[in-house]
Structure 1
Amino acid sequence: MIYDTIAAISTAVGEGGIAIIRVSGPDAVEGISRVFRSKISLKDAETHTVHYGHIIDPTTKEPVEEVLITLMRGPRSFTAEDVVEINAHGGVIAVKKVLDIVLQLDGIRTAEPGEFTKRAFLNGRIDLMQAEAVIDLIRSKSDRAFSVARKQAEGILSKRIKALRQTVIELLAHIEVNIDYPEHDVEEMTSAYIRDQCAIAIDEIDRLLKTANEGKILREGIMTAIVGRPNVGKSSLMNMLTQENKAIVTDIPGTTRDVIEQYVSLNGIPLRLLDTAGIRETNDVVERIGVERSRNALEDADLILFVLNYNEKLQDEDYALLELLKDRPVIIVINKTDLPHQLEFEVVEKSFPSESIVKLSVLKEEGLERLERAITDMFFEGQLESGDLTYVSNVRHISLLKRAKQSLADAVEASHMGIPIDVIQIDARSAWESLGEILGDEAGDSLIDQIFSQFCLGK
């Protein structure tokens, strides 16, 4: 399929050492060669070569910018089209001048968000699952999330989905032959055979779905609310986790009056930290709004870090929170262990198991590794160190895998009921189509447009 030629800035806007303008399409080489002055004509250059020269103003013929141009002829490029990447000096003015000249060329227009990756998909360079992994690479909040996305972009999950589809298509083929030539009884096409093939596919889907919760966490992060009464060290804990003074810390109760949000990677686990206002009864109008927002954050949180003070007895606000958080995913963080012991541990241990209680000193930065282990045990059953990075992390993929599994389960149930195999074929085909939608084979235009609209411009 032949498209028009598109161009966009592929690096972040602002000051930097280098800015890259990407051009892709049938007129990329011809167009840029008209405004590129070098010792060799770009049209005669070999693919995958870099050339030094100047972008010139087509009107005045004067040099505008000193550049390096990378030439990649299709299909050996990301989009499978001819691609020219112009490496200019970083800076808003320099890159804008070059882009303006490029967009004045006949046949070249501004790319839409994600259009380069969309062309890679439409041209068969990557499947839809790999394309979505590109978004995850850009948005990764931790090294492990990046590694998972990189593996998906390389096609590790796509291979497993394709193998699943192959299992189902072989089942469909046998059913088709049995319907068309029932007298041959090909490979004893019986209900038992249908059940066996479906069971193989269902087992593989179950193995993939087993990773879904962990994968979703790595992709999106754990929404983590830091709660407690005023002045127990919530903001200090957040500052220790983020390694910066994100939250204001004072001895005055009620200093934090709103929910402060920050991403942090803790032992490879991305946390979306929410430092909340101390929960207590107050007559201060502003603080009361902050307390209400803190309560709302509790409702939405995947994990709650409930901070208590090691050197103070439990107070009314502590008792209220202990009762409120009994059935929630909570880790009790007992702070200020560098001070004399006053806290009634037995009260806390009655409500929460010992593995959910972590002692640390924010002041001395001691005990952070214990908190890391407690979170890993809670969300990953202690297996985060495993080298297997085959996680299903995308909500769309999870939903379609569940749909495919249900269709296969319906086929098994129908075979038990003695329903004719041409009816069972409908369920098997539905499973095959659901798996195909993950890869993009069965995806509609509206879904494809919606997915690629999430990309940044130039990607």
Structure 2
Amino acid sequence: MYIDDTIAAIATAPGEGGIGIVRISGKKSLDIADNIFKSVSGKKIKEYNPRTLIYGNILEEEKIIDEVLVAYMKAPYTYTKEDIIEINCHGGFLSVKKILELVLKKGARLAGPGEFTKRAFLNGRIDLSQAEAVIDIIRAKTDLSYNIAQNQLEGNLSSEIRKLRNKVTAILAHIEVSIDFPDEDIEHLTYETLYNKSKELKEDIIKLYETSETGKIMRDGLKTVIVGKPNVGKSSLLNAILKESRAIVTDIPGTTRDVIEEFVSIKGIPLKIIDTAGIRETEDLVEKIGVEKSKEFFEKADLIILVLDASRELSSEDIDILNNIKDKQAIVLINKIDLPSKLDEQKIKEYINKDRVIKISAIQRTGIDKLEDEIASMVYKGDVSQKDSVMITNVRHKDALGKAINSINDAIRSIEDNMPLDFVEVDFKNIWDYLGEVSGDTVSEDLLDTIFRDFCIGK
């Protein structure tokens, strides 16, 4: 499905740099480039072998715009499976802008967000899950999240989906044979076989689906909120985790008045750590706004880290927070263990599992390794390891697999009730379609537009 028009965009980040790239894709790419580029040898680009870097200048009416290297890549062996030209110029804002404007003037149009990758999908070079992996690679914040995205780009998720769809195809073939040849013995065998194959397929889909929670964290980061009363050591904890003095630390309650956000990698897990203002009653207007923000983040967090002061007795504010984290993913840190203890630890364990209560000294970085181990344990839950080759990281994929599981449950109920095979066939066709949504085999144009609009223009 080759697209008729030719697109162009700046493929490098804006600002100063060693090099800037203007990318052109489409059937007019070579003609446009030959029209504005003059090699030092005097030869046209088409006279060189494809994939050769050609030195010369970009000209507008004989005026040199920039000194460049041009690469011509011939279809179909390119990223988009179309002819591609890449103009490597000096990495300044004006140089790439002027070259792009000239390319557009000569007949290309400005590419939309992610349109190069969209064309790679539409032209069959990659499937939709691989296309989505491209943006995951760009946005990866840890080595592990990068490896998972790279794994998906290589087609490992596509391969798993293809295996599942092949199983659905085999089941559908079995059903259609039974419908076409409704012999009583065959039908009895069909229901028994269908039940066993359906249960096996369900287990395979669920196994993939259950990686989604961990996968989403690897892709988007674990939103982790540090909460507690003023002056319990929240900012000291943030500094200890980051291994730098990011937050101001004083003995004055209410020092942190706004929300501080930082990304950090803990055992390969990207954490979006949010240090909030101390939760307490206050008449200070600015601090009061900070406290309200803290409560908002508290409700939206994936993980809550409550910091308590070992040198002080539990207060009513501490008890209120403990009550609020009962049914949430939370860890309680007893900080300042280097000071004489006045805290009733048994009381804390009435609200939270004792394994989630960790003693630390944020100032001395004592116990921080135990906190990191517990966070890793909570994310992986023993079910998913870093060595798993395929992981669902995308909410869209999770939703499609969830729908497939619902359909297979409907199919199993129909089989158990000995419903006509036509009903069962409908459920399995739905499963086929839902699995196809992951790879893009069954997807609407509107959904494609939604997916690719989050991409940068030049990708």
> Please, what TM-score do these two structures have when normalized by structure 2?
0.94
Q: CA deviation at 1:311?
A: 3.1
CA contact (8 A) 2:237 2:363 kept: no
Report if aligned partners of 2:156, 2:389 keep a CA contact under 8 Å in 1: no
How many positions carry a matched residue from both structures? Answer: 456
Of residues 48, 52, 55, the one that matches 1:49 is 52
Looking at structure 1, the residues matched to 175 and 324 of structure 2 have their Cα atoms a distance apart, in angstroms, of 56
Higher deviation after alignment, 243-252 or 222-231: 243-252
Q: Tell whether the 8 Å contact from 1:230 to 1:277 is kept in structure 2 after alignment.
A: yes
Q: Percent identity?
A: 46
**Alpha-carbon distance in structure 2 between the residues aligned to 1:413 and 1:287:** 57
The 5 A counterparts of 1:255-404 are: 255-382=255-382, 386-404=386-404
Query: How far does residue 383 in structure 1 lie from its aligned partner after superposition?
Result: 6.5
Please list the CA deviations of residues 88-125 of structure 1 after superposition, one character each: whole Å capped at 9, or x if unmatched. Answer: 1111112112111111112x110000100100000001
Which moves more between the two structures, 146-155 or 193-202? 193-202
Moved more, 39-48 or 219-228: 39-48
Q: Give the stretch that moved more between structures: 18-27 or 341-350.
A: 341-350
Give the Cα separation in 1 of the matches to 2:59 and 2:420: 72
Alignment of 1:238-249 (within 5 A): 238-249=238-249
Contact conserved, 2:54 with 2:70, CA < 8 A, in 1?
yes
C-alpha separation between the residues in 2 aligned to 1:188 and 1:346?
Answer: 61
Trace 1:26-425 onto structure 2 (pairs within 5 A).
26-38=27-39, 39=41, 40-57=43-60, 59=61, 61-106=62-107, 108-182=108-182, 190-382=190-382, 386-425=386-425
Is the Cα–Cα contact under 8 Å of residues 214 and 384 in structure 2 kept in the other structure?
A: no
Offset at 1:314? 3.1
- Counterpart residue type for residue 156 of structure 1: N
User: What CA deviation, in whole Å up to 9, does each residue of 1:343-402 have, x standing for no partner?
Assistant: 333332343333212222322333321111011122212567541131111111111112
1:376/1:382 contact within 8 Å kept: no
Question: Matches of 2:216 and 2:88 in 1, distance apart?
Answer: 36
Flag structure 1 segments of 5+ consecutive residues without an equivalent: none
| Structure 1 position 25 matched with structure 2 position 26 | yes
Alpha-carbon displacement from aligned partner over 1:231-267 (angstroms, at most 9, x marks no partner): 1121222233234443332222111112222222111
Counterpart Cα distance in 1 of 2:448 and 2:125: 15
- What is the rounded CA distance, in whole Å, between the counterparts of 1:275 and 1:182 in structure 2? 67
Q: 1:426 aligns to what? A: 426
> What value does the CA root-mean-square deviation take over the aligned residues?
2.1
Query: Which runs of 5 or more structure 2 residues have no equivalent in the other structure?
Result: none
User: Do the aligned partners of residues 449 and 369 (structure 1) sit closer, same or farther apart at CA in structure 2, a change above 3 Å counting?
Assistant: same
In the other structure, the counterpart of 1:449 is 449
Which SS does the other structure have where 1:34 is aligned? helix
Partners in 2 of 1:423 and 1:351 — Cα distance? 49
Note if contact 1:178-1:189 (Cα within 8 Å) is conserved in structure 2.
Answer: no
**Distance change in 2, residues 1:289/1:43 (3 Å):** same
Deviation at 1:284, TM superposition (A): 1.1
What SS class does the counterpart of residue 293 from structure 1 fall into?
Answer: helix
Worse-superposed segment, 45-54 or 139-148: 45-54
Deviation at 1:199, TM superposition (A): 2.0
CA displacement at 1:187 relative to structure 2: 10
Taking structure 1 as the reference length, the TM-score comes to 0.94
- The 3-state SS of whatever aligns with 1:17 is strand
| Residues 178 and 351 (structure 1), Cα distance of their counterparts in 2 relative to 1, 3 Å cut | closer
Alpha-carbon distance between aligned partners in 2 of 1:215 and 1:76, rounded to the nearest angstrom: 32
> Residue 184 of structure 1: CA displacement?
11
For residue 181 of structure 1, report the CA deviation from its aligned partner.
4.1
| 8 A contact 1:174–1:189 mirrored in 2 | no
TM-fit CA distance, 1:182: 4.0
Shift of 1:319: 3.1
Q: 1:179 to 1:346 in 2, by over 3 A?
A: closer
For the Cα contact (< 8 Å) 2:144–2:386, is it kept in 1?
Answer: no
